[in-house]
Structure 1
Amino acid sequence: MTVETRLIAESEYPDWLRALATGFLRPPVVTDEEAAERRAATDLGRVRGAFDEGRCVATFRSFGQQLTTVGGARLAASAVSNVTVSPTHRRRGLLGSLMDAELSEAKERGETVSTLIAAEYPIYGRYGYGPATTTTQWSVDVPRAGLDPRRSGPDDGGRIDLVDGTDVRKLGPELHGRLAAAQHGLVDRDERWWQVATGLRRLASHPWTEPFHAVYRSADGSVDGLLTYAADDEWGDAKQPLNTATVRDLIARTPAAERALWRFVCSIDWIVTVRSGYRAPDDLLPHLLPDPRAARVVTHADFLWLRLLDVPAALEARTYPTSGTLVLEVADAAGLAGGRFRLDASPDGATCTPSSGSPDLTLEVGELATLYLGDESATRLSALGRLDEHRSGAAKTADGLFRPGRRPWCPDVF
């Protein structure tokens, strides 16, 4: 029989959750409590499924999101999540059907881009997505790091205070908002995010362990940094501590706050290993240590994937460090964002309009997404055969325009 892909009905939500658990290799049992908890945070108008004789065999959901682009502007994004196809129904085009419907509706809603975190690399390029940020995770061997054990607190007039979840819910959103005004790649965190991160709202599928929270206050008293970490309880046979601190979240508005929080977590008594959590590849962490070799890379991979839905709006929203002009031939098999566009950019602003001029670069919409936040080089993509350079030096011009001083960073899984 034909498998039907469509928006789900209220009564189908528990079965949709069962299919979601199946796809992610979790026990395919959903309690009433979990269903009620998740339903309260879900807009069924953006939840799709595939149904075979009434049974859900594929899941797909999106929600509204704000993505910070280069320069601090926030883009309206459609965040894609909870994508699964049951093992009995793979390779039948179900994901393609679900994705086509979502992207068409996202464009109609006026969302400039679509975002997702890819569980598997090869899947989403065929739908016009490209990897737009990279994440790195370090494991720090604290005894080797060379930090002064006698040092107590920041040396810049600031201070670090331990706080609780109630404080984090009060202070965190404002701090994150200030950071999002500067850090490209960040996505917004709503009230529910802070409730889950602090244990006020607990998910039945995710056992809760209370973490530690610390804030950095600058000399004038403003909260410029927030750290959340957990610690285990491991001791060696010789009664020596072997404890690991795992950073769940570290956001900082200033380099001083970031340095202070890293030094703090790397100087806690009994902690001999610090796991950094997901950071930008050019994070300050390794090189603020006296011995950067004490920080070993344990994860380095693509993270946030981006799909452009409105090329002119996206290119005009971000800032550019230099001046230049490029004519881009953008190919989009889905017919959503392709065309030939002339980008005139400078530090004072940019315009992007349809063009009939000869193209300087030809590239797929997913490759433009990979360049968009500045994490990748057009020159490198050219060498890989992933874009065509029609004018000598055009890729170098693109690198000068698209690459800011720091790499993009998205710390949040969604």
Structure 2
Amino acid sequence: MSRRTEIDVRPITEAEFPDWNRALNTGFLMPPAVAEEQLEARGRQFVPGRSLGAFDGDRCVATFRSFDQELTAVGGAPVRADAVSNVTVTATHRRRGLLTRMMAQDLAAAKERGDVVATLIAAEYPIYGRYGFGPATTMTEWTVDVPRAGLGPRWAAPEDGGRIDLVDGEDVRKLGPELHERLRRAQPGAVSRTELWWQSRTGVVNTNGTPWTEPYYALYRAADGEVEGLASYRSDDRWGEAKQPLNTATVDWLLAVTPAAERALWHYLCSIDWVQTVKSGWRSPDDLLPGLLPDPRAARITTQADWLWVRVLDVAEALTARTYEGRGATVLDVVDRSGLTGGRWRLEAGPDGASCVPTTESAHLVLDVAELGALWLGDASAVRLAALGRVREERAGAARVVDALLRTSRRPWCPDMF
């Protein structure tokens, strides 16, 4: 009878980085051999102590990486976050608790550093709730039937006196970071971007190992010359019978800090000659796109799913970092089976600020820390979670009070995959 060897979970060394990357590729069903260019680019993400590996002897069989991030809370305050990424377990070593061990190490270190929340984008829904993460934002992708949209050749330029120009990657690296910062400061759920993010999206470095093809970059300037929008997109080259164009423009990402910029960029994308279909990329579920078209039905939802997941590590700091449109008070009993945060908290909040302190008062609402993560950015509904049996009212109407405090007029959105 064969015996399972003891699996060692530990931070990897630089010497173990190539084997760790091979395991990472294997876990994501990419070719296991890691190209030298890809390894060099990923090496720029390596931070000692923040990349964990599980080793069966000398072979890495599970991967986990985290890094410092800022997440925008409701109201615009940046919150320190532990961003979790590159999580894999090789198929030969599943169901041995490897992810649980790596997650426990990382979250304990994040708590010790003083991070307020942890974040991730979940490849699979059922995995992360048991670690205290809750789905806090939603992603929606639209496919636009351009001929039906009602723009076409009749649209030639922004109606507000602004202009759109095609620019190159150097322009994007110069103008994009400041534009993104303006968006991030105003968009709950948005996260910080590193210099490496901009380099990888403009072909300077290659982190995924696939051949680089330069996209188009469309820049919007307002009438006063201010940069207010930027989009990256690609187009295929398809033609039907009788020489009819069937091209599709696919948006990689689109940033707009004003409604005028958003309108101009979408109108431009839906008016490019030969393009019959526009795929929007990952957008907010209440994005303006459909309403910007003469016929909103031309934009149909083709993907809608959970996106950014949040794990609260400091209840008091998380609830006082954000703002509140209404005024009220409630007592929350937060259950955290990992023991990182939790307890009973009295939240008093209003437009002028909030306090959140431990209390011995009777709870109004009992909820797992994962449900608090789902509610914190203002997208989820406590009333709906109560109907689903995922939060429990100890006082009648408590869920409605929580919704009145936490929910936001515009939905949170995370534009990024990480």
Mapped to 2, the partners of 1:10 and 1:3 lie a distance apart of 20
The answer to whether structure 1 residue 150 and structure 2 residue 166 are counterparts is: no
Secondary structure of 1:44's partner?
A: coil
Secondary structure of 1:21's partner?
A: helix
Contact 1:377–1:399 under 8 Å retained in 2:
yes
Mapped to 2, the partners of 1:330 and 1:172 lie a distance apart of 40
Residues 303-322 of structure 1 aligned to structure 2 (within 5 Å): 303-322=307-326
Contact 2:38–2:206 under 8 Å retained in 1:
no
Contact 1:244–1:272 under 8 Å retained in 2:
yes
Long gaps (5+) in structure 2: none
User: Residue 90 of structure 2 is aligned with which of 72, 86, 93?
Assistant: 86
Deviations 1:324-381 (A, max 9, x none): 1010000000000111011110011111111111111000000000001111111100
Secondary structure of 2:182's partner?
A: helix
- In structure 2, what residue type is equivalent to 1:222? E
Give runs of ≥4 in structure 1 deviating > 6 Å. Answer: none
Give the CA deviation at 1:151.
2.4
Query: Which residue pairs with 1:394 in the alignment?
Result: 398
Deviations 1:121-148 (A, max 9, x none): 0000000000000000011000011126
Query: Which residue pairs with 2:207 in the alignment?
Result: 203
Query: Which residue pairs with 1:96 in the alignment?
Result: 100
The answer to whether structure 1 residue 57 and structure 2 residue 49 are counterparts is: no
User: Residue 354 of structure 2 is aligned with which of 342, 350, 353?
Assistant: 350
Query: Which residue pairs with 2:122 in the alignment?
Result: 118
Long gaps (5+) in structure 1: none
TM-score (norm 2): 0.97
Give the CA deviation at 1:399.
0.9
Residues 6-405 of structure 1 aligned to structure 2 (within 5 Å): 6-147=10-151, 149-203=153-207, 205-405=209-409
Contact 1:81–1:116 under 8 Å retained in 2:
yes
Give the CA deviation at 1:403.
0.9
Mapped to 2, the partners of 1:249 and 1:382 lie a distance apart of 35
Deviations 1:222-278 (A, max 9, x none): 111111111111111210110000001111101111111111100011000000000
Mapped to 2, the partners of 1:59 and 1:204 lie a distance apart of 16
Mapped to 2, the partners of 1:241 and 1:286 lie a distance apart of 23
Mapped to 2, the partners of 1:34 and 1:150 lie a distance apart of 44
Give the CA deviation at 1:152.
1.5
Q: Which moved more, 1:141-150 or 1:20-29?
A: 141-150
- The 1:148–1:40 alpha-carbon spacing in structure 2 relative to 1, beyond 3 Å, is closer
Mapped to 2, the partners of 1:244 and 1:151 lie a distance apart of 18
Mapped to 2, the partners of 1:235 and 1:405 lie a distance apart of 43
Secondary structure of 2:373's partner?
A: helix
Mapped to 1, the partners of 2:157 and 2:313 lie a distance apart of 47
Q: Which moved more, 1:18-27 or 1:322-331?
A: 18-27
Mapped to 2, the partners of 1:10 and 1:174 lie a distance apart of 33
Give the CA deviation at 1:204.
5.9
- In structure 2, what residue type is equivalent to 1:229? Y
Give the CA deviation at 1:14.
0.7
Q: Which moved more, 1:224-233 or 1:142-151?
A: 142-151
- The 1:317–1:204 alpha-carbon spacing in structure 2 relative to 1, beyond 3 Å, is closer
Contact 1:33–1:204 under 8 Å retained in 2:
no
Secondary structure of 1:388's partner?
A: strand
The answer to whether structure 1 residue 408 and structure 2 residue 404 are counterparts is: no
Give the CA deviation at 1:30.
1.6
Contact 1:133–1:408 under 8 Å retained in 2:
yes
Deviations 1:19-52 (A, max 9, x none): 1111111111123332222112211320101111
Contact 2:35–2:209 under 8 Å retained in 1:
no
- In structure 2, what residue type is equivalent to 1:217? R
Give the CA deviation at 1:292.
1.2
Count of aligned pairs between the two proteins: 414
Aligned residues: CA RMSD: 1.0
The percentage of aligned residue pairs carrying the same residue is 64
Secondary structure of 1:181's partner?
A: helix
